[in-house]
Amino acid sequence: MPFSIYLFLVFCFFVLALFYAVPKKARPLILLFSSIAFYGLCDVRFLALLAIEISFTFYLGKKIEANLAQNKAKKFLFLGILFVLTILGFFKYFNFFVEQFSFSFKSILLPLGISYYSFKAISYLIDIYKQKRSSEPSFTFYALYISFFPHLICGPIVRSETITEPLKKGIAYNPELFKQGFLLLVSGLFKKVVIADRIGTYINTIFATPEAYPSFALLLALLLFALQLYCDFGGYSEIAVGFTKMFGIPCNDNFLRPYFALNIRDFWRRWHISLSSWLRDYVYIPLGGNRLGKKRQHFNTLVTFIACGIWHGSALHFILWGLWHGVFNTLTPRKDPQLFKKPVKILAFVLTFSIVLFGWLLFKIDSAPKLLQFLSHLISDFSINVSTISNSLLPFTYSNTCIAHFLTTLAFVFILFSQEYLQEKGKDKEYLFFTIQLFCVFLFCQTGNSPFLYANF
Partner 1 sequence: MKKLLKIFLSVLLLCAIALLLKNEFARLLTKNSPYGIQTLISKTASAENLFVGSSMFRQGIDIFALEEKSPGTSWILAYNGNQPVWEKIILESLLNNNVKIKTLFLDMYAYSVVVPPKVSDERLFLHTDLKTKKEFWNILKQTGNASLQELFQMFVTSNNEILWTWPLNKKLTDNRYLRGGNTAFSPGSTDSLIRSLPPVTIDDFSFRKEQKNALLEIFALCKKHNVNLVLIETPKYIEIATDSNYLQVMTEYIELAKANRVEFLISESTANQMQQKDSSFNYIERMIPFNSDDPESFQDRIHLSSKGRKIYTEKILKFFK
Shortest Å, Cβ 393 to partner 1: 10
Shortest Å, Cβ 451 to partner 1: 15
Q: Is 272 annotated as catalytic?
A: no
Q: How large is the C-alpha radius of gyration of the chain? A: 23
Rule CB under 8 A: choose which of 98, 348, 445, 453 binds partner 1: 445
Please, which residue, 354 or 449, has the CB nearer to partner 1? Answer: 449
Query: 151, 312, 317, 377: which is the annotated catalytic residue?
Result: 312
Chain positions 370 to 389 lying near partner 1, rule: CB under 8 A, are 387
For partner 1, which stretch binds (CB under 8 A), given 20-28, 289-297, 330-338, 395-403? 395-403
Question: Is 443 a binder of partner 1 (CB under 8 A)?
Answer: yes
Half-sphere exposure of 191 (CA within 13 A, CB side): 27
Question: Is 208 a binder of partner 1 (CB under 8 A)?
Answer: yes
Shortest Å, Cβ 44 to partner 1: 24
Shortest Å, Cβ 175 to partner 1: 5
Please, which residue, 107 or 449, has the CB nearer to partner 1? Answer: 449
Chain positions 137 to 176 lying near partner 1, rule: CB under 8 A, are 175
With contacts defined by CB under 8 A, how many residues of the chain interact with partner 1? 33
Please, which residue, 208 or 339, has the CB nearer to partner 1? Answer: 208
Question: Is 400 a binder of partner 1 (CB under 8 A)?
Answer: yes
Q: Write out the catalytic residue numbers.
A: 312
| Residues in touch with partner 1 (CB under 8 A) | 175, 178-179, 182-183, 208-209, 211-212, 387, 390-391, 398-401, 403-405, 407-408, 431, 434-435, 438-439, 442-448
